[in-house]
């Protein structure tokens, strides 16, 4: 019954995701590799840590290693987030011992690399912006809490546990898979989602543009290993996406101008209806007609013909190169959008798989409860029958014994009525005789000596 609604939610989420655009300079992990092959750095990001720099692999960034403990690591964007509405999508995994400890923060802070560095919420001094803390606070197996600071509160001196504006429980350790956290800001709300579920939401929080995005982690004596797989920033502001590469923008503008010129040229040749206009030649279609070699009689004419044909070949090659470059950029953009959609789809499919597993467990539990109910009903019926049989047997036995005892007492033990009557009459006669004798003795004359 729940699957159709989940599928509807998935379709709605995918439709919403189509309206979002990837911000390349604030994202990593959306492709096959985090860093270019042969390099130990992430483009447009800076990595820092203490006492050592976090380890960067092809598909993940290990902020804190499994051993030793007491390590710190962080990654910060070199550029700031300049959009009013955005989505920050982070995938991470935390592994460790049974009683391991540590924490991870997702920051949106002004000058974060300098003011925060690789610190945690518990060790940072003052900062301006937002911090999302993931740790084992409260003994619930994990909790996510949000903190805000306008640059006036010193978190080293304050009671951090009393400063959060939103929280939810999330057992993030040793899941065996990456966990997904989304920070979403719209015109009306700010919300945090965990694995596709709402963690907390507020309509009174709004982060202004101009802040750096960062992720930091710290491990305890018994360490937890925090690994970041993806940090993707999406926005719905397509027209103002800033890449920071002016040369690439100029090339795109030149290519757009060239495409416009080609379109105008094609429109001149073929017209608006798509049919070729009489009397107008396509400069790239049979620009130089084929001629017989016998007509070229001098070296000057031969050079001129060769020069014109080389220019024509150069024009055709330029057109081909421009077309290939355009198709390559379009393909790359579509690949990025597809990667983002696949990430969203993977999260939704994971959610559907969880729901399916829960439904299977619920059906199994319901079946077990039904079997237990039937067994209890059978036991009750059997117990009732046994009690009735025992009651009937006891009653029959007691009645038989009672009748037997009564007959025995009546025949053997109980005295007869005749003897009782004789005893009573005899005792009365004795009393009367004694009384008469006493009276006579009392009324007889006394003799004196």
Mean pLDDT of the chain: 81
Exposure of 145 by Cβ count < 10 A (0-12 exposed, 13-18 middle, 19+ buried)? Answer: buried
The DSSP line for 247-314 is HHHHHHHHHHHHHHHHHHHHHHHH-TTSSPPTT---TTSSSS----GGG--SHHHHHHHHHHHHHHHH
Most confident of 35-39, 143-147, 260-264, 427-431: 143-147
Whether the predicted pLDDT of 387 surpasses 50: yes
The position carrying tokens 């960062």 is 214
Integer Cα distance of 434 and 240 in angstroms: 143
Q: CA angle 217-32-196, nearest 5°?
A: 60
Integer Cα distance of 233 and 104 in angstroms: 19
Among 267, 214, 262, which Cα is nearest to 104's? 214
Integer Cα distance of 357 and 350 in angstroms: 10
What confidence tens digit (pLDDT) does each residue in 47-81 have? 999 888 999 998 999 999 998 889 999 999 999 99
What confidence tens digit (pLDDT) does each residue in 124-149 have? 999 999 999 999 887 778 999 999 99
Entry pTM: 0.53
- Bigger pLDDT: 403 or 228? 228
Residues 420-438, mean pLDDT to the nearest whole number: 88
Query: Maximum Cα–Cα distance for the chain, whole Å?
Result: 217
Tell me the backbone φ, ψ of residue 135, rounded to 5 degrees. -155, -175
The SS3 call for residue 208 is: coil
- Bigger pLDDT: 431 or 291? 431
Q: Which residues contact 3 (CB under 8 A, 6 or more apart)?
A: 352, 355, 356, 359
Integer Cα distance of 334 and 167 in angstroms: 36
Q: Which residues contact 166 (CB under 8 A, 6 or more apart)?
A: 145, 146, 192, 199, 200, 201, 202
The SS3 call for residue 7 is: helix
pLDDT of residue 275: 45
pLDDT bracket for residue 218 (50, 70, 90):
very high
């Amino acid at each position: 019954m729940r699957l159709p609604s989940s599928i509807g939610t998935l379709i709605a989420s995918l439709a919403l995701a189509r309206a979002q655009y990837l911000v390349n300079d604030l994202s990593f992990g959306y492709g096959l590799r985090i860093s270019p092959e042969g390099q130990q750095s992430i483009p447009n990001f800076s990595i820092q840590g203490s006492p050592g720099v976090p380890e960067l692999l092809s598909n993940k960034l290990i902020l804190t290693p499994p051993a030793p403990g007491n390590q710190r690591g962080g990654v910060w964007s070199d550029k700031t987030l300049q959009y009013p509405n955005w989505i920050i999508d982070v995938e991470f995994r935390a592994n460790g011992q049974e009683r391991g400890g540590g924490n991870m923060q997702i920051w949106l802070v002004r000058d974060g690399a300098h003011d925060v560095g690789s610190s945690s919420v518990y060790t940072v001094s003052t900062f301006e912006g937002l911090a999302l803390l993931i740790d084992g606070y409260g003994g619930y197996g994990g909790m996510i809490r949000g903190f805000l600071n306008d640059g006036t509160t010193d978190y080293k001196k304050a009671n951090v546990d009393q400063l959060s504006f939103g929280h939810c429980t999330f057992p993030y350790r040793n899941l065996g898979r990456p966990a997904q956290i989304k920070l979403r800001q719209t015109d009306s709300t700010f919300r945090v989602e965990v694995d596709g579920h709402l963690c907390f939401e507020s309509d009174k929080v709004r982060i202004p543009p101009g802040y750096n995005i960062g992720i930091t982690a710290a491990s305890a004596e018994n360490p937890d290993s925090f690994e970041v797989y993806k940090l993707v920033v999406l926005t719905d502001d397509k027209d103002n996406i800033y890449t920071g590469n002016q040369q690439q923008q100029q090339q795109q503008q030149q290519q757009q101008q060239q495409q416009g010129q080609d379109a105008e040229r094609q429109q001149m040749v073929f017209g608006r209806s798509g049919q070729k206009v009489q009397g107008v030649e396509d400069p790239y279609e049979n620009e130089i007609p084929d001629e017989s070699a016998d007509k070229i009689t001098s070296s000057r004419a031969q050079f001129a013909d060769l020069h014109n044909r080389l220019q024509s070949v150069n024009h055709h090659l330029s057109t081909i190169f421009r077309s290939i470059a355009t198709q390559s950029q379009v393909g790359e953009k579509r690949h990025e959008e597809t990667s983002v959609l696949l990430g969203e789809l993977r999260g939704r499919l994971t959610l559907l798989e969880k729901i399916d597993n829960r439904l299977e467990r619920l059906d199994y539990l319901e079946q077990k409860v039904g079997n237990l109910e039937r067994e209890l009903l059978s036991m009750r019926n059997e117990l009732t029958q046994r009690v009735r049989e025992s009651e009937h047997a006891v009653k029959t036995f007691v009645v038989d014994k009672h009748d037997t005892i009564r007959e025995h007492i009546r025949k053997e033990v109980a005295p007869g009525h005749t003897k009782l009557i004789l005893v009573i009459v005899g005792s009365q006669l004795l009393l009367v005789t004694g009384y008469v004798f006493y009276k006579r003795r009392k009324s007889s004359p006394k003799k004196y000596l």
